[in-house]
Structure 1
Amino acid sequence: MKIKLLVLALSIAVQGFGQESTEKSKYDPVAVFNPMINYQPSTVYRSASGNPGPAYWQNQANYKISATLDEKNNTIAGNVKIEYINNSPDEITFVWLQLDQNKFNSTSRGSKTTPPNLGRYGLKDFEGGYKIANLKVEQARANLRNQPVKSFIDDTRMQIFLSEPLKTKQKVEISMDFEFLIPDNGADRMGKYDAKNGVIYTIAQWFPRVCVYDDIEGWNTTPYLGAGEFYLEYGDYDFEITVPYNHIVVASGELLNGREVLTSKQLDRLKKAQNSDETVMILEKDEIGKNNSRPKNSGVLTWKFTCKNTRDVAWASSSAFVWDAAKASLPSGKNILVQSVYPAEVDGKNEWGRSTEYTKHSMEFYSKELFEYPYPVATNVAGIVSGMEYPGIVFCSAKSKRAGLFGVTDHEFGHTWFPMIVGTNERKFAWMDEGFNTYINMLSMKAFNSGEYYKEQNTQDMGFFARGSKAILTPPDAMPEVEIGSLAYYKPAIGLKMLSEAVVGEERMNLALKEYIRRWAFKHPTPFDFFHTVEDVVGEDLGWFWKSWFFENYKIDQAIKSAKYINNNASNGINITLENLEQMPMPIELEIKERGKDAVLINLPVDIWSKTKEWNFNYPSSAEIESLRLNPRGIIIDSNLKNNVFKPN
């Protein structure tokens, strides 16, 4: 009796050699392989291939700005003159402007939608906002000059009505005076930092800016609430900043009047830095506050800058800055200046003493791999802001150090490509700048200094960062603040990583990203323009992927349902049944280990899931199976690893 039972047990083990899964699948292939998911025909403005169409247009806004920093009264006051050019086929009867400083008071929408704990974007006991005066509108016809101007301010938007419609290729000039109180910390994007030798002012969203008018929504007037960032037209900027004589000012673009605001020694050091791979000190910490460190010893100085074909400008000013610089070499053979300003107390080599080295790497790496850096200078500023980007200048926390400082520097400068070069709508699609940028940061960190700060991490282990209760396509102001890091940064980046490693291949994915930047440099793409460009380059219909990972919040759960030797004999091969249990399909990577042999990787395309929840196939084994393992390299995020491994009983 005992002998018969043993024979029966061995027979069952050989036939099935593991427990068959009894889990029930939630998967519906019809929903995820719907051919209409990404079906967008061409228009004259946007091609179905992902290219701008033959009649693509965007309007232009050129700015001339003068502003004064008043330390005593804690204000910025100035004048802005906007030349707005209508390149659209539409007649425009009014112009919308963004007044972002109006967020920083208790009556704004941003304040009223801020939770009691304030979070990252809230501000307590501060009554700021713009004071607007001397609004003028000048159109081409002489009889339309100096006409009374009708305008309306609603929260962070201003609507200016024109005397007559602005036709295609016509322009209007809008000017006004503005003034605002400087918030201590303006939504972690601007503010003041109390350094040992003075206050560091990091100034952004500081002047009225034109909203985007595009072929998708017309006027884009989403209010500034905090989490949603910016969407701006491109144009040329000339601006001047008047500050106390003992301040150093850095800004987007190129300094035009260095001989007026710098000493001859500082000019010589800058000239040296522009040809040096090593960091050169422009103003050392023991020179701070010394009379000979500035060209005058009282009053004010006016710093003049220009920045061309850009969507914004920002600046920083302080009497506490240490300043260093070097060159970065671009693929075209051109050199740019990379520089850092920071307080003396954080100048160590484990702190901001390496900031310019980090900046140089970012400029050279991304220029080579993606698209050449378009500005003459790249500036990193230490201050109150934990991390924020503007064209040609970024603000990072003065408290950052080592890998943390490299990471935030590289991330903020990565934003030069998304969204400064590729000008997406950050108010609605945070993932198109934060997510893409987080993805390219992974590549950059690996390349820096032979991987000094890089730690290998497979995609499966990054699953924690991809969690969230909503879909990636949720607007940032509708995301719970604790999930913004996941939904805007990590989940889209991990999606590109999975697409790269598990679906189309790293080389093709990077070619697609590079082509997307080339097509949409200094233009306004939509999510569909990105989706179509990737498909156009890699030659795949990826609607199922966009649907699962971006449009919806689907999970992945691949499972080995069963495995049986054919005719109960391992040498005849093995029949394997795989199952897709959650709603997102992915290609299969299965490791098969036969006794006495090296493991073999079997790859099956995502198409196996296009019509079924289960996939059954034969593998020509010739020896007993030691194990079957799904996703052995961890290239996808599988939500349940327990059903990924099948071993003999």
Structure 2
Amino acid sequence: MSKRLIIVILFFGALVSGQQGPYYQQFAKYAMDIDVDAANFTYNGKQTITYTNNSPDELKVVYFHLYWNAFKPGSMMDQRTQNLGKNGDSRLQKGGVSTLASIPKSEEGAQNIHWIRQNGKNLKFEIQETIMKVTLDTPVKPNSTSTFTMEWDAVIPMQIRRAGRNNREGIDMTMTQWYPKLAEYDYDGWATFDYIGREFHAPFADFDINIKIDRDYVIGAGGTLLNPNEVKGYSPNASVKAGPDNKVTWRWNAKNMLDFAWAADRDYTVETFTVLDGPKIFYVYQKSDKTKFWEESKPYVEKFFQLMNSSLGRYTYPSYSFVQGGDGGMEYGMVTMMLGEARTLEDLVGLMVHEGGHSWNQQIMAYNESVRPWMDEGFTSYYDSRIMHQLFPPEKPEPNPFLGSLNNYRNFVKRGIEEPAVWLGDHHENGTAYSFATYVKGELFLVQLGYIMGEDTLNSVMKEFYNQWKLKHPTDRDFMHVAQKVSGMDLKWFQHYWINTTKTIDYAVKEVKHDGNTTTVTLENKGGIPMPVDFSVLTKDNKVVNYQIPLNMTHTWKSKDIYGSFTTLNYWPWTQKEYTFTIPYSKAQISALGIDFSQRLADVNPADNFIEIK
């Protein structure tokens, strides 16, 4: 063997065996002192960050996110909103015109860095919109720790998207993504996506936060309040003693979270209850006729946490807060910022279930949402549909909780504006296309896997994935590894079609021939995505007989499903457009037959899947 050939083999062998590199995870500890000027909607901040580099790489720079720099005219968020017009995020524009462009100078968001030091030495830094690049005095070597200190001041922006002052329900301050926040570093490098309005990513960290604010404010936050007896709202025995400046200090602690978020208002009420075998729940909101459903929602929220604990995995943290503050709803570590007013109890609970469900996906699993928003939003939506179906059962009993999502997807596909789910979150050209690619197709990704492998197997996949990867930033590759190992199936083809393309599923019953005591059926694949096919016969005496037609690419067939026992037929090669088989039923015995009686298959034209035999 030639020396050149040996080198080529070793090179490609390294690529194959080390595609993702060894697993590691960065970690940080934040200690902050924050002094809020509530009257002027500003604050001064100091923080010490102890950063541990667990990677095998020597780091010569570090990056921070300065999210609030986006909330001003001319920012990249403003430019993107103007460029997309009516195709963009409706919350950032009115009539296709960016509302960021009209933010008054006094209400522009700003995070002004005074200085940053590494182990006491001043560092050079460069502000690039919402990203701060810091050149280190001393590289942070692998498996070592470095300490950064910094001071800054900030202007709380007009609330247009998630964070800011004086939201539409009258909350004074919603403080989300509000501090200079370390970017994540992993095998893919620094996660330094500009903030255009969508998702976030960060390393896990511990937080010790002291917030000094006027004594008449109440704070709701994602963390543990260490001095409830010294502040307003949390203890009937509190003794609120303000200093000469009429301020008190709130002391918060949170462990192993992606971020720390809080909101402050003078009219907040704080209510608590504890989930059986679960976390302590805090409701922090303005109590009024407009928020009357909060009290009624408590048993539903308790049931929600119990269902998530049993169906996916136990909630990791000691508490969870639902805080009135924000535009719509947004999840953060141990807290949801949400609108408090709702038209119905079901609307309010639906918002709590969805945003609370992110605690398992966005926070505990901690996917990189900027790169794979379909994992966070889609997996959350999957459990959202399942649990809301249990909490608010439809008037007409229906075993499939995903029918609404499937029908919405079918109607959307007809518009011809679909974009692949694999696209980066902020880089979609149409806001509606982003929502369907991320929320709906992400949800239906799991629905289709349940159809392919069986619901019980999918449940085992999800639990195993959660147990293996909680608090570890998994990727879709990690999920597929677990899914294939648990199911025994090859599923790479499905992820490719469903996530990387906009091809669709479209099967049909092409022909039915009766011959004495048998019936021969020909099915046709009219779509771009091959799938296994569940086929059923409804007999004249109202019995359902099920058949499974495996797809050859899975190589292993599902052995059971909750929708009934079945007979497995020969596999259907993905290259073959038609498939013919014979069943031992005469025309006189059959009432109807067709594809997917369970109605889980995301077939874009289900009308040709069924035939009634007359």
Residue type of the alignment partner of 2:435 = G
The answer for the alignment partner of 1:487 in structure 2 is 437
The answer for the alignment partner of 1:233 in structure 2 is 203
For residues 549-568 of structure 1, the aligned pairs below 5 Å read 549-565=498-514
Instruction: Please give the alpha-carbon distance, in whole angstroms, between the structure 2 residues aligned to 1:597 and 1:515.
Output: 38
The answer for the alignment partner of 2:175 in structure 1 is 203
- Structure 2 counterpart of 1:43, from 10, 18, 21: 18
Instruction: Please give the alpha-carbon distance, in whole angstroms, between the structure 2 residues aligned to 1:384 and 1:138.
Output: 35
**Is 1:508 aligned to 2:467, yes or no?**
no
The answer for the alignment partner of 2:195 in structure 1 is 224
Instruction: Please give the alpha-carbon distance, in whole angstroms, between the structure 2 residues aligned to 1:267 and 1:43.
Output: 58
Instruction: Please give the alpha-carbon distance, in whole angstroms, between the structure 2 residues aligned to 1:453 and 1:188.
Output: 37
**Is 1:374 aligned to 2:316, yes or no?**
yes
Deviation of the 1:645 alpha carbon: 2.8
For residues 34-183 of structure 1, the aligned pairs below 5 Å read 41-43=16-18, 55-115=22-82, 116=85, 119-121=90-92, 123-124=99-100, 125-126=102-103, 127=105, 128-139=108-119, 145-146=120-121, 148-183=122-157
Change (3 A) 1:149 1:536: same
Instruction: Please give the alpha-carbon distance, in whole angstroms, between the structure 2 residues aligned to 1:369 and 1:622.
Output: 43
- Structure 2 counterpart of 1:342, from 270, 273, 285: 285
* Contact 2:228-2:234 within 8 A present in 1 as well: no
For residues 284-363 of structure 1, the aligned pairs below 5 Å read 299-330=246-277, 336-346=279-289, 349=292, 351-363=293-305
More displaced stretch, 383-392 vs 358-367: 358-367
* Contact 1:63-1:237 within 8 A present in 2 as well: yes
**Is 1:601 aligned to 2:546, yes or no?**
yes
Instruction: Please give the alpha-carbon distance, in whole angstroms, between the structure 2 residues aligned to 1:433 and 1:73.
Output: 36
Change (3 A) 1:213 1:559: same
**Is 1:619 aligned to 2:548, yes or no?**
no
Instruction: Please give the alpha-carbon distance, in whole angstroms, between the structure 1 residues aligned to 2:396 and 2:241.
Output: 41
More displaced stretch, 556-565 vs 451-460: 451-460
Change (3 A) 1:265 1:74: closer
Gaps of 5+ in 2: 1-14, 94-98, 553-571
Change (3 A) 1:648 1:168: closer
- Structure 1 counterpart of 2:341, from 382, 399, 419: 399
Change (3 A) 1:93 1:299: same
* Contact 1:189-1:388 within 8 A present in 2 as well: no
Change (3 A) 1:465 1:597: closer
The answer for the alignment partner of 2:601 in structure 1 is 636
Instruction: Please give the alpha-carbon distance, in whole angstroms, between the structure 1 residues aligned to 2:573 and 2:234.
Output: 70
More displaced stretch, 239-248 vs 168-177: 168-177
Change (3 A) 1:458 1:519: closer
Give the secondary structure class of the aligned counterpart of 1:85.
Answer: strand
Deviation of the 1:84 alpha carbon: 1.4
Residue type of the alignment partner of 2:355 = E
Give the secondary structure class of the aligned counterpart of 1:491.
Answer: helix
Instruction: Please give the alpha-carbon distance, in whole angstroms, between the structure 2 residues aligned to 1:219 and 1:264.
Output: 39
Deviation of the 1:361 alpha carbon: 2.8
* Contact 1:251-1:316 within 8 A present in 2 as well: yes
Residue type of the alignment partner of 1:578 = L
Instruction: Please give the alpha-carbon distance, in whole angstroms, between the structure 2 residues aligned to 1:525 and 1:590.
Output: 35
More displaced stretch, 467-476 vs 200-209: 467-476
Larger gyration radius, structure 1 or structure 2: 1
Instruction: Please give the alpha-carbon distance, in whole angstroms, between the structure 1 residues aligned to 2:162 and 2:193.
Output: 20
* Contact 1:422-1:523 within 8 A present in 2 as well: yes
* Contact 1:423-1:524 within 8 A present in 2 as well: yes
What TM-score results when the alignment is normalised by the length of structure 1? Answer: 0.80
Residue type of the alignment partner of 2:221 = A
The answer for the alignment partner of 1:214 in structure 2 is 186
Instruction: Please give the alpha-carbon distance, in whole angstroms, between the structure 1 residues aligned to 2:438 and 2:484.
Output: 22
More displaced stretch, 462-471 vs 415-424: 462-471
The answer for the alignment partner of 1:470 in structure 2 is 419
For residues 373-452 of structure 1, the aligned pairs below 5 Å read 373-400=315-342, 401-448=344-391
Give the secondary structure class of the aligned counterpart of 1:437.
Answer: helix
Instruction: Please give the alpha-carbon distance, in whole angstroms, between the structure 1 residues aligned to 2:67 and 2:466.
Output: 28
Deviation of the 1:417 alpha carbon: 0.7
Relative contact order, CA 8 A, sep 6+: which one is greater? 1
Instruction: Please give the alpha-carbon distance, in whole angstroms, between the structure 1 residues aligned to 2:465 and 2:443.
Output: 16
Change (3 A) 1:454 1:73: farther
Change (3 A) 1:549 1:361: same
Deviation of the 1:496 alpha carbon: 0.8
1:130-178 deviation line (CA, Å, top 9, x unaligned)? 3434323223xxxxx43x4211110110011111221112222222222
* Contact 2:587-2:613 within 8 A present in 1 as well: no
* Contact 1:60-1:233 within 8 A present in 2 as well: yes
Instruction: Please give the alpha-carbon distance, in whole angstroms, between the structure 1 residues aligned to 2:235 and 2:184.
Output: 43
**Is 1:534 aligned to 2:480, yes or no?**
no
Residue type of the alignment partner of 2:225 = L
What TM-score results when the alignment is normalised by the length of structure 2? Answer: 0.85
Deviation of the 1:66 alpha carbon: 1.7
Give the secondary structure class of the aligned counterpart of 1:609.
Answer: coil
* Contact 1:93-1:164 within 8 A present in 2 as well: yes
**Is 1:256 aligned to 2:226, yes or no?**
yes
Change (3 A) 1:135 1:557: same
Give the secondary structure class of the aligned counterpart of 1:185.
Answer: coil
Deviation of the 1:313 alpha carbon: 0.6
Instruction: Please give the alpha-carbon distance, in whole angstroms, between the structure 1 residues aligned to 2:395 and 2:326.
Output: 27
Deviation of the 1:461 alpha carbon: 5.1
Change (3 A) 1:629 1:159: same
Change (3 A) 1:306 1:413: same
Deviation of the 1:475 alpha carbon: 1.5
Change (3 A) 1:138 1:456: same
Residue type of the alignment partner of 1:620 = P
Instruction: Please give the alpha-carbon distance, in whole angstroms, between the structure 1 residues aligned to 2:79 and 2:441.
Output: 29
* Contact 2:290-2:341 within 8 A present in 1 as well: no
1:44-88 deviation line (CA, Å, top 9, x unaligned)? 966xxxxxxxx4111112111122332221223212221111111
Give the secondary structure class of the aligned counterpart of 1:164.
Answer: strand
Instruction: Please give the alpha-carbon distance, in whole angstroms, between the structure 2 residues aligned to 1:506 and 1:451.
Output: 21
* Contact 1:91-1:168 within 8 A present in 2 as well: yes
- Pairs aligned (count): 558
For residues 7-18 of structure 1, the aligned pairs below 5 Å read none
Instruction: Please give the alpha-carbon distance, in whole angstroms, between the structure 2 residues aligned to 1:634 and 1:336.
Output: 36
**Is 1:587 aligned to 2:552, yes or no?**
no
Deviation of the 1:602 alpha carbon: 2.2
Computed over aligned residues only, the root mean square deviation of the Cα atoms, in angstroms, reads 2.7
**Is 1:498 aligned to 2:448, yes or no?**
yes
Instruction: Please give the alpha-carbon distance, in whole angstroms, between the structure 2 residues aligned to 1:181 and 1:169.
Output: 36
Residue type of the alignment partner of 1:530 = F
1:421-475 deviation line (CA, Å, top 9, x unaligned)? 1111111111111000011112222343778999765645533432351111121
* Contact 2:272-2:282 within 8 A present in 1 as well: yes
Instruction: Please give the alpha-carbon distance, in whole angstroms, between the structure 2 residues aligned to 1:225 and 1:440.
Output: 27
Instruction: Please give the alpha-carbon distance, in whole angstroms, between the structure 2 residues aligned to 1:265 and 1:313.
Output: 22
Instruction: Please give the alpha-carbon distance, in whole angstroms, between the structure 2 residues aligned to 1:208 and 1:445.
Output: 37
